[in-house]
Copies of this chain bind each other. A is one copy, B any other.
Amino acid sequence: MGRITAIEPLDIRFPTSRALDGSDAMNPDPDYSATYVIVRTDVGDGHEGHGLTFTIGRGNELCVAAVEALAPLLLGADVEELCADMGGMYRRLTADSQLRWLGPEKGVIHLATAAIVNAVWDLYAKRAGLPLWEAIAALSPEHFVDLVDLTYLTDVLSREQAIDIVGQAHQRRAGTLERLRTEGYPAYTTSAGWLGYDDDKIRRLCREGVAEGWTAFKLKVGLDLDDDARRAGIIREEIGDDRLLLMDANQRWDVPDAIAWMQALSRFSPLFIEEPTSPDDVLGHAAIARALAPIAVATGEHAHNRVMFKQLLQADAIGYCQIDSARLGGVNEVLAVLLLAARFDVPVWPHAGGVGLCEYVQHLSIIDALCVSGKVDGRMIEYVDHLHEHFLDPVTMSDAAYRLPSRPGYSAQMYPATLEAFRYPGGSVWADPRD
């Protein structure tokens, strides 16, 4: 017996704007931040759940306040019962009608939901003594689908269809797992292509990337077409024709501009253009995809819930489905989107970077491979080499692939020293701006 005794949010911010890491056409000076949640119990087994959502600085305090508003929905819950019905756990957090009004299922309240849900899953996996991917892969197809809120999805995905999808993946599971253990999960790198970097730095980072074995590189575009063409030329020169070039506009364009701009960059043969326009514009993405084929459209980093992904898939708007582990309502809603993507046979390429997103999405892509799509080929996880040093169980990369995490939990627990130093506004990093 034991109960949830505390859901404690922390405001953690990293002063990344000082070096222009993470700069893009819409976000010139982000301070990568986390609303970090610690779930405590009185079970007495020493386990805490640690989870987070990701923001880029100002306003992180709103997500912290939203965690405080949601916390009463789980406080006092019996831990065993909660872990036995993690689908019910999710619905408890999203069904409060007064708080739902603030979204529904979007914006600050949904980001905070993600932080709590992710923390509870961390607790769940630690209690199971397994990394999250393995804890979830251990579930039957029926139990897996019980985790998902199918509300608003049944026009394209019934419970029976969902169970069937998971059941089919299970049949191939042993071989897939063997392959993942041997080769890891393939990744692409965004580290070379930030908008704030100069040409020499881009060239140097590409050269290093090729030497390290990377086969796919992402470039941020959308501020100036001549600059984009010059930088794309540098990257193509360095990576050659056989490696993949990805482009990301971070919502910079209207629909006609996106089409014209990318037609001008099409000679660099990008695989996809990511976030060409408003993340809310399903029909706009579909129009862009039709106009630019065979260049595909990718999006998802700001697609705020399963209903948006349903439509992006229904409308043939995306060729690559970029789930976000902190924008969606945590693990449960990501599983819903994995099922939708499998239903429409669109590969999942998770958004990562930020703070802890690489640590998170490795689990989610492994779950996709073992339990949902059943596939690894034609799929990659984004990789950015920022801020991993703050985590107890950081990602392990080799040969441009994520190695399977093996520690119990969901891998996004930060060191106590980090939680102390980067706490906003009281932490030492913020008190002394020279740090």
Q: Which of B30, B110, B151, B255 contacts A254 (CB 8 A)?
A: B151
| Interface pair B254/A101, CB less than 8 Å apart | no
Of A51-59, A76-84, A205-213, A424-432, the stretch lying at the interface with chain B is: A51-59
Q: Taking A107-B108, A152-B254, A255-B154 as contacts, is the C-beta distance between A98 and B281 under 8 angstroms?
A: no
A342 located at the interface, meaning its Cβ lies under 8 Å from any Cβ of chain B in the complex: no
A331 located at the interface, meaning its Cβ lies under 8 Å from any Cβ of chain B in the complex: no
Instruction: Please name all residues of chain B whose beta carbon is closer than 8 Å to the beta carbon of A107 when the two chains form the complex.
Output: 102-103, 106-110
| Interface pair B277/A152, CB less than 8 Å apart | yes
A256 located at the interface, meaning its Cβ lies under 8 Å from any Cβ of chain B in the complex: yes
Looking at chain A's contact residues, the main secondary structure is loop
Please, how many angstroms separate the alpha-carbon atoms of A251 and B184 in the complex? 43
By a beta-carbon cutoff of 8 Å, the part of chain A in contact with chain B is: 26-31, 55-59, 61-63, 65-66, 69, 96-111, 151-155, 251, 254-257, 277-284, 287, 302, 304-305, 307-308, 310-311, 314-315
Q: Which of B102, B304, B314 contacts A108 (CB 8 A)?
A: B102
Shortest CB-to-CB span from A218 to chain B, Å, is 19
| Interface pair A31/B279, CB less than 8 Å apart | no
Instruction: Please name all residues of chain B whose beta carbon is closer than 8 Å to the beta carbon of A106 when the two chains form the complex.
Output: 103, 106-107, 280, 304
Please, how many angstroms separate the alpha-carbon atoms of A105 and B61 in the complex? 18
| Interface pair B97/A30, CB less than 8 Å apart | yes
Shortest CB-to-CB span from A107 to chain B, Å, is 1
Shortest CB-to-CB span from A118 to chain B, Å, is 17
Instruction: Please name all residues of chain B whose beta carbon is closer than 8 Å to the beta carbon of A58 when the two chains form the complex.
Output: 69, 96, 98-99
Query: Can you list 23 pairs linking A and B with CB atoms under 8 Å apart?
Result: A26-B100, A27-B98, A27-B101, A29-B97, A55-B101, A56-B97, A58-B98, A59-B99, A59-B101, A61-B69, A62-B65, A62-B102, A102-B111, A106-B106, A106-B280, A107-B107, A107-B109, A152-B254, A155-B255, A155-B256, A281-B307, A281-B310, A283-B314
Instruction: Please name all residues of chain B whose beta carbon is closer than 8 Å to the beta carbon of A314 when the two chains form the complex.
Output: 283
Shortest CB-to-CB span from A354 to chain B, Å, is 10
| Interface pair A97/B28, CB less than 8 Å apart | yes
Instruction: Please name all residues of chain B whose beta carbon is closer than 8 Å to the beta carbon of A103 when the two chains form the complex.
Output: 106-107
Please, how many angstroms separate the alpha-carbon atoms of A287 and B26 in the complex? 34
Q: Which of B29, B59, B104, B155 contacts A302 (CB 8 A)?
A: B104
Chain B CB within 10 Å, residue with most, of A63, A97, A305: A97
> Nearest 3 pairs between A and B by C-beta?
A107-B107, A108-B108, A155-B255
Please, how many angstroms separate the alpha-carbon atoms of A111 and B107 in the complex? 10
For the A-B complex with A59-B99, A62-B62 known, give 9 more contacts whose Cβ atoms are closer than 8 Å.
A58-B69, A106-B107, A152-B255, A154-B254, A155-B254, A280-B304, A280-B305, A283-B310, A283-B315
Q: Which of B28, B99, B152 contacts A281 (CB 8 A)?
A: B152
Please, how many angstroms separate the alpha-carbon atoms of A105 and B108 in the complex? 11
Nearest CB to that of A310 among chain B residues? B281
Shortest CB-to-CB span from A159 to chain B, Å, is 12
Instruction: Please name all residues of chain B whose beta carbon is closer than 8 Å to the beta carbon of A69 when the two chains form the complex.
Output: 58-59, 61-62
Instruction: Please name all residues of chain B whose beta carbon is closer than 8 Å to the beta carbon of A30 when the two chains form the complex.
Output: 97-98, 101
Instruction: Please name all residues of chain B whose beta carbon is closer than 8 Å to the beta carbon of A29 when the two chains form the complex.
Output: 97-98
Please, how many angstroms separate the alpha-carbon atoms of A256 and B61 in the complex? 40
Nearest CB to that of A111 among chain B residues? B102
| Interface pair B287/A311, CB less than 8 Å apart | no
Shortest CB-to-CB span from A164 to chain B, Å, is 19
| Interface pair B62/A108, CB less than 8 Å apart | yes
Shortest CB-to-CB span from A382 to chain B, Å, is 17
| Interface pair A283/B282, CB less than 8 Å apart | yes
Q: Taking A59-B109, A97-B27, A109-B107 as contacts, is the C-beta distance between A282 and B256 under 8 angstroms?
A: no
| Interface pair A155/B307, CB less than 8 Å apart | no
| Interface pair A278/B302, CB less than 8 Å apart | no
Shortest CB-to-CB span from A66 to chain B, Å, is 6
